[in-house]
Amino acid sequence: MVLHSLEESLDTWKPLMDSFSYWNVDLKDNWEISINGDLAVTTFS
């Protein structure tokens, strides 16, 4: 799956996550962002 913006990411995942009573995105650990020209890839665990 390729998401081109934070807004597109939220539009994709929020409907799924709305079925849970509580969820949170915690941007603390294990993020890796690779940038090559106009392409950025973010991975996390």
Q: What is the DSSP string of 4-34?
A: -SHHHHHHHHHHHHTTSS-------S-EEEE
List pLDDT tens digits, range 1-45: 566 777 887 788 788 888 888 877 666 777 788 888 877 777 876
**Residue-number span of the structural domain to which 30 is assigned:** 6-44
pTM above 0.85, yes or no: no
Look at residue 36 in the predicted model and tell me its pLDDT: 84
AA identity, residue 33: I
Task: Confirm whether 17 is domain-assigned.
Answer: yes
Look at residue 9 in the predicted model and tell me its pLDDT: 75
AA identity, residue 9: S
Task: Confirm whether 1 is domain-assigned.
Answer: no
Task: Confirm whether 27 is domain-assigned.
Answer: yes
The domain total for the chain is 1
